Amino acid sequence: MQQLQVNELTPYLQDLVALLIDCVDDGASIGFIPPLARDEALQYWQAVEQSLATPERVMLIALDDQQQLLGTIQLSMTAKPNGHHRAEVEKLMVHTRTRGQGIGKALILAAEPLAVKHGRHLMVLDTRLGDVASALYRRVGYQEAGQIPGFALNGEGTYDATVYFYKRLSTASKEP
């Protein structure tokens, strides 16, 4: 796993664009509707790169031995004063050609110590109801908190429910 900082996305930019398009076109519910245009994907990653200049955004990438991009994950550190203990998992993506090899699991488990390093001890995330990602999250210790029906528009023009998950990373907090 490699953590990227601001101005470090450029060597991976075209691969990140291709990854985002691959995941969206495969049906991933990550904020976009298929088919995803290259320009829209490029604009997204350019905005992510700018957000890496803030302490609220962390990004990891997984590379193979030939430095080919396999997947990525982002953490959004809650900036609200009452949420400085939380980090939200955003855009966990693994290329369709490399799924089932433990890359998603490795990415999310690598992100957790980074959240702790930023003073966060509660991870939250959401995923579409029925997505295979739910099984991954459960396997690595995330608990389902609830569901919201009709949460996100899908590529077929209907609405899917989302499932919220959380995981406590440490017991060093003041909460019960």
| 99-148 pLDDT per residue, tens | 999 999 999 999 999 999 999 999 999 999 999 899 999 999 999 999 99
Average model confidence (pLDDT) for the chain? 94
Residue 121 pLDDT: 96
**Nearest alpha carbon to residue 144 among 152, 155, 133, 159:** 133
* H helical segments located in the chain: 13-25, 38-51, 103-117, 133-139
CATH placement of domain 2-124:
3.40.630.30
CA distance 36 to 48: 17
Residue 173 pLDDT: 46
CA distance 102 to 136: 9
- pLDDT (mean) for 16-43: 96
Q: Give the pairing type, strands 122-128 and 86-94.
A: parallel
Whether residue 74 has pLDDT greater than 50 = yes
Whether residue 174 has pLDDT greater than 80 = no
Coil, strand or helix at 61? strand
Distances (CA, A) of 90 to 172, 174, 176: 24, 26, 26
The 3-state secondary structure of 83-95, one letter per residue: HCCEEEEEEEEEC
- The DSSP output letter for 37 is P
Whether residue 17 has pLDDT greater than 60 = yes
Angle between helices 13-25 and 38-51 (to 10 degrees): 120
CA distance 107 to 148: 26
Residue 170 pLDDT: 79
The confidence band for 75, taking pLDDT boundaries of 50, 70 and 90, is very high
- pLDDT (mean) for 141-157: 96
For 105, the token pair is: 């699991």
Whether residue 172 has pLDDT greater than 90 = no
Whether residue 34 has pLDDT greater than 80 = yes
Whether residue 176 has pLDDT greater than 60 = no
